[in-house]
Amino acid sequence: MATKMYKEEKFKMVRGMDAKAHLDDGWTFKPSDTSTPKPKRKYKLKVKDVEVIKPDPLEVKDQDIEEINNGD
């Protein structure tokens, strides 16, 4: 049965019989934790920071909407 083995940031599938030889060469069964964690967001938007723009109902024009009958 094949087993996934890790070394640094690499991995490869190894047959079960060859796993012992790979362990001697520095391969492990668990991946290394060398990835850096993502930084937390430092700035969050607040309600007072956001400007809401509402259209004036008197200036809004009706939209032209075409109906398609597909031959019916």
Q: Which residue has the higher pLDDT, 62 or 25?
A: 25
Confidence at residue 57, expressed as pLDDT on a 0 to 100 scale: 66
pLDDT digits (tens, 9 = 90+) for 2-58: 888 888 888 889 888 888 888 888 888 887 766 667 777 777 767 777 777 777 666
Confidence at residue 61, expressed as pLDDT on a 0 to 100 scale: 60
Q: Is 28 in contact with 7 (CB distance < 8 Å)?
A: yes
Query: Residue 11, Cβ neighbours under 10 Å: how many?
Result: 14
Q: Is the pTM of this model over 0.75?
A: no
60 pLDDT higher than 70 = no
